Structure 1
Amino acid sequence: MTDTPAAPADHVAPADQDAPAVQDAPAGRSHTRDLRLGVIGLGLRATLAKEAHRPGEGSVVVAAADTAPGMHARAREWFGDDVHVHPDHHRMLAAEDLDAVFLITPDHTHEALAVDLLAAGVAVFVEKPLAITTEGCDRVLEAARASGSRLYVGHNMRHMPVVRVMRDLIGRGEIGEVKAVWCRHFVGHGGDFYFKDWHADRRNTTSLLLQKGAHDLDVIHWLAGAYTERVTALGGLTVYGDITDRSGQAPGAVMPDWYDPERNWPPLSLTGLNPVVDVEDLSMMLMRLEGGIHASYQQCHYTPDYWRNYTVIGTEGRLENFGDHGESAEVRVWRHRSGYRADADLVVPMPSPGEGGHGGSDPMLVAEFLRFVRSGGPTDTSPVAAREAVAAGVAATESLRSDGRPVTVSRIAPDLAAWFARGQS
């Protein structure tokens, strides 16, 4: 049978990921004037700041910073000739009166930049992953606690309809108590997206199991209502390591400049890889989560198709998504014994995708951040959850590079977790 779309999951996190209590807006902060925003990093994901640029409608990007002068013209193109462009974040902070900053820079820079921004007293949107080490994440969280500045992490998949529908079905008890979560991530354009620029160098990412997997690990935790305790993983550089053309791309170029879905196939035909390629293009990890829940995650960067498939198994059924966004995507639920059958007991089609990136989830992510800057209160994203996704990816990378040795995930300090659970002011 076909059911109507499930209502979006409410904003109450699972018991071990309590959402912060609603807070009043800080004294003196106007609810009527435009928020004054800055953006650091003008690469591909800086379109999130472009989404927030709504002069006269609540928020305006007044300043931008990028260490590459060639990117400065993009700021003026997106935000107008009045935007103040700076060569680095220090000069931007010294010159500008900002309410919040979008931090959209390469992963390895997130930690130091976020700490500086939080210490300066501005609210910070950090594009995922929060950092490339567990210790780096903890340093950012500590900086948020010490300064009292609001911290938000860009895990936009928590706003994707397919994820929210799956979580809502689990919350309604459609499959009973969750016992296992499996995710297969087919990264069909991985060669173009991750092996032609800084992503291919583990000094910038730790691994793609962390960088790309941070989304999926966060979703696994959200659907299970539990964090990862112990992991084991295997993988390797199985295809792109054989490509000898490591000429890289032109300085200042970003992925759409070289991406060609028609020409760059099969994967071994790619050229212009990053000069350093030492991250795995195939990885598989097994996880034991809190409460005895088990999970698995597989990631391949040279499949012909590009999508994610989640399966969640409970004590009374199983659900699975087919497609991850778009009008053809749906979630199917099986609740009765049978042999193979495609006709599930419950089928929930996804609503038509909204405008904006990632099926409309990017605008929702930005809207939640701006509301959080103004008023505080609960959010569907969580800095602690972002930290736990990185911690699981770091542990899995350590396991993968030590021939599958089991690794225990580093836990967050209880007092720090408790501070975020009480809510950011």
Structure 2
Amino acid sequence: MAKIGVGIVGCGGMGAALAQGLAGLETARVVAAYDEAPERAAELAGKHGARACANYQELLADKAVEAVVVASPQFAHPANTVAAARAGKHVFCEKPMAVTLEGCDEMIAACRAAGVKLMIGQVCRYHAVHGKVRELVASGEFGRPVCMTVHRLGGTWGGAYAQSWRLSRETSGGNLLEIHSHEIDFMRWVCGDVAAVYATGGVYVDRRLDYPDLTLVVMHFASGAKGLLHTGQVSAIGGYGGRVDCERGSLVFPAIWGAEAGIHVAKTGEKATFLPASELRVEDPVRHELRDFIDSILNDTVPAVPGEEGRAAVEVGLAAYQSVECEETVPLPLPV
């Protein structure tokens, strides 16, 4: 079977994970790698039998490269994606899509003009609990969602995550984009488009940051449902869970990962049952999202998470920052 040749730009932790995901597919293979740190590109290329490139232009000029996985820091996503599209390569871009809406729009426009696919790596859609919550709500069995709350909390940046670019909102997008674009995307996936955002927060613990290390984000969905996202890097005891309350029942997920991961499910007036995450059989999430990307190329279909979906998550995050600053509800869409 012919395999789609893939080039990786950005060979750090996420680039390595994505390369490993591609290695598990029968329809794709890593053929080239580039990173500003040559030793990282050499290590990834050596592991996957690929070629380490001296620069990004060399990778894009390689005719064996049919698609590019963009796993560079998010401030570089627009430039990397636009260059790939202009070279005729399909693009899988790790989240967050970009740190500005202008960047998102440039990426979408370039890929559309070139006639290539653009998929954003919102991998939480492929995790067991996230996917089952979406499936249960979308079934209509519990009625329309009324309110969704999600919390994802942890400590301050440390170790490999304390690079200077991650401490600046201009380059990282801050934690609402770099990390919590996952949760924003999840909540939109379950409840639909967001019509307005109100947020409050600030810098309470990590004084190195120029963006909030604690944020409470209220989402007013176009459907009329409400959402609350509680995020932060101020917690000695972290956690990740939430709930969806619908017209005729509730879904409570105390943990996304670990021993307590799963979903308590109850229709109104009935006893709750528990679905352990360990019994929700799913493919490796990174491999699965890449399989969907490669399939969209082979079958000429719309990617599972197109650029417009990645942009929508960025827009909600940017609206939340704006709301923290102005202390008012911010309507969507944001002006560009």
Question: Matched residues in 2 for 1:315 and 1:208: separation?
Answer: 32
Question: Matched residues in 2 for 1:308 and 1:337: separation?
Answer: 27
Give the structure 2 partner of residue 42 of structure 1. 11
Note the 1:224-263 alignment, pairs <5 A. Answer: 224=191, 226-241=192-207
Give the structure 2 partner of residue 77 of structure 1. 46
Residue 67 of structure 1 aligns to a residue in which SS? Answer: coil
Please list the CA deviations of residues 259-306 of structure 1 after superposition, one character each: whole Å capped at 9, or x if unmatched. xxxxxxxxxxxxxxxxx6323211111111112121111102132344
Matched-pair identity in %: 25
Note the 1:311-390 alignment, pairs <5 A. Answer: 311-326=243-258, 328-336=260-268, 344-351=271-278, 360-377=284-301, 379-390=303-314
Give the Å deviation of 1:371.
1.7
Question: Matched residues in 1 for 2:303 and 2:78: separation?
Answer: 21
Residues 189 and 352 of structure 1, relative CA distance in 2, 3 Å threshold: farther
Give the structure 1 partner of residue 153 of structure 2. 186
Give the structure 2 partner of residue 100 of structure 1. 67
Hey, which of these two has a bigger chunk of strand by percent?
2
Please tell me whether residue 309 in structure 1 is matched to residue 233 in structure 2. no
Give the structure 2 partner of residue 5 of structure 1. none
Letter in 1 for 2:205: V
Give the Å deviation of 1:191.
4.1
Give the Å deviation of 1:146.
1.0
Letter in 1 for 2:96: P
Question: Matched residues in 1 for 2:163 and 2:41: separation?
Answer: 22
Question: Matched residues in 2 for 1:53 and 1:337: separation?
Answer: 48
Moved over 3 A (4+): 188-197, 304-307, 351-355
Normalized against structure 1, the TM-score is what? 0.73
Give the structure 2 partner of residue 4 of structure 1. none
User: 8 Å contact 1:158–1:380 — kept in the other structure?
Assistant: no
Please tell me whether residue 143 in structure 1 is matched to residue 132 in structure 2. no
Please list the CA deviations of residues 151-171 of structure 1 after superposition, one character each: whole Å capped at 9, or x if unmatched. 111011111110111112112
Give the structure 2 partner of residue 278 of structure 1. 210
Give the Å deviation of 1:352.
5.0
Give the Å deviation of 1:197.
4.6
Letter in 1 for 2:200: L
Give the structure 1 partner of residue 85 of structure 2. 118
Give the Å deviation of 1:337.
5.2
Please tell me whether residue 134 in structure 1 is matched to residue 101 in structure 2. yes
Please list the CA deviations of residues 329-373 of structure 1 after superposition, one character each: whole Å capped at 9, or x if unmatched. 1111233359xxxxx523222235879xxx931121122222222
Normalized against structure 2, the TM-score is what? 0.91
Question: Matched residues in 2 for 1:198 and 1:187: separation?
Answer: 19
Residue 223 of structure 2 aligns to a residue in which SS? Answer: helix
Please list the CA deviations of residues 88-121 of structure 1 after superposition, one character each: whole Å capped at 9, or x if unmatched. 2222212443111110000111011111111211
Which structure has more RCO (C-alpha within 8 Å, separation ≥ 6)? 1
Residues 192 and 287 of structure 1, relative CA distance in 2, 3 Å threshold: farther
Residue 33 of structure 1 aligns to a residue in which SS? Answer: coil
Give the Å deviation of 1:61.
1.1
Note the 1:382-401 alignment, pairs <5 A. Answer: 382-401=306-325
Residue 291 of structure 1 aligns to a residue in which SS? Answer: coil
Give the Å deviation of 1:217.
0.5
Please list the CA deviations of residues 218-262 of structure 1 after superposition, one character each: whole Å capped at 9, or x if unmatched. 0000111x1112111111221121xxxxxxxxxxxxxxxxxxxxx
Give the structure 1 partner of residue 226 of structure 2. 294
Give the Å deviation of 1:326.
4.3
Give the structure 2 partner of residue 410 of structure 1. 333
